[in-house]
Structure 1
Amino acid sequence: MSSKKKRVDEEMEVVGDDFEEDVNDDDDEEDEDYMGTQQNEEVQVEFEARMPEDSDFHGIRTLLQQLFLKANVDISEVANTIISQNYIGSVVKQSYIPEDDSDDDDMVDEDPVFGLTSVLNITDRKDLNCVGHIKTMLIEKCKCVAPEISQKFSQLINSPDYQLGLLLNERFINIPPQFKEMEKAKRKKMKYDFSHYLMICKTYRCKLMGGKQQKGGDAGEGQVFYTNPEEELIKEVSDFNFTYSVQSERDSIVDGKWNAEDQMEALRTVLIIPADKLPLAIQKIKSELGAT
């Protein structure tokens, strides 16, 4: 394979779905025991982080879909941009795909994308349609928070005096995030020497606890939970943040854990992180979550 590979070893416990199919009365007990064993089987899976390639387009787009939901953002253009700047990001895939003799092979992605880490320079790439869509969406969402937060955000995202990078950290399973490529790009004097990072995090809160979004840039301190736990550590070094609801965009879209949690309200929390503070957050992630 032509792409550069960076190894990430991870053990993943796979718990089978609940089987809801009717079982005939005359089925052997051995079959039932086998099914029960399969549901709690522990499988060791090896992953690796690779440079994004053209063949990863649909996998990357699916990951972006779970972040942006029904927002008016051209996620196809975002996916293509990520692939075009593959020196700055990585996708996480299974290292070895065992051969399967099933007749349904053609219907399954043989090399699925399990995770994505990248950064999009939304200052330098302001002419891209997708960047304009993202900026317009976030400015509109920020109007509902405290005026001082809204003013700070509007100044940061629109001013040419700042270099703002959209940090993307999406995945389907609990794989450590990869943030190494940004430092490499900076050393090569590429356009990734940011003053700030912007990060859109998938968050949620209990409907009975949350109520309406409170002023002050956050939807009730202590009541917002992060789907990706490392992003809560990144929040600790952020300058400011604000949260908005995406509950109305959930229908018919698979969005992380929320489909199974009817008591949770789906949110997005936007973090503004000074570039010089991100390394501290990454060290915390490595220390507290065991990321490598």
Structure 2
Amino acid sequence: MTGLTPNFEYVRSVVKNAAGISLDKGKDYLIENRLAPVASKHGFDSIPDLVQEMMDEGEGGTIERIVIDALTINETSFFRDQAVFDHLEQTVLPQIIKKNAGTKRLKIWSAACSTGQEIYSTAILLKERFPRLKDWHIGLHATDISDRVLEQARSGTYSEFELNRGISPALKEKYFNKVSEFDWQICEEIRQSVSFSRHNLVGAWNGLGMYDVILLRNVLIYFELPEKQLILSHARKHINEGGHLFLGASETTFNIDSNWVSEGTTSASFQVKGKEVRNIGI
């Protein structure tokens, strides 16, 4: 350690209070590894100096936001967990399309979207498999607490490595353009079909609207029970009748929020009790 340990509890409390993210007491190494380059980039001689500046600025300061951004876990890939996208294609979207045939509207939200691969995968799925939606009003929205990952998501630019994690050669050829020796950018049509904004899951949920599908995958695992309950409670208020909530494969609403019921699939999909629920499998 380089003098970080006395500051650990403060950093931990800030991240917990501001973002709801719990950093275990054994994660000193994570803080040090994530904050060392941040301190250097912003002209601080050490991590303790960075933390002191955060203390001096107080709640909501610039350094606090930078620190939270650095400590946010941002693991994602294109078409991550193919079973989810199969379930969307084969069951969920056909159900919603039938239900919404009168309004011709479909809204999907990717929460904690990281660098955007999930929502772009969804946009590609709609383009590839549902051409009959071309005259529908499709709303694809994605949010994250990290300004850094949102910047990349909006640009839609990915390295060869990032692209090869889930994108087939055929889709790569069809939807991506090479912009440098190692980077590719998703085509403008797909990029323009998605809107991105900053959102804190444990903050206010104002202005988010209603959705037919909410993708909240692999994020609840970073929160403790009260924050999980808060997030699931908010999600219930923003999902349309017959809408679907997707969690990560290891996540559940069981013993957290009894207002949700599992669809009985391997894709961790749920609906609100009292709304159109079917026990289906993949």
Common fold: TM-score over 0.5: no
Which one has a larger percent strand, Structure 1 or Structure 2? 1
Q: TM-score, normalised by structure 1?
A: 0.27
More helix by share: 2
Instruction: Calculate the TM-score normalised by the size of structure 2.
Output: 0.27
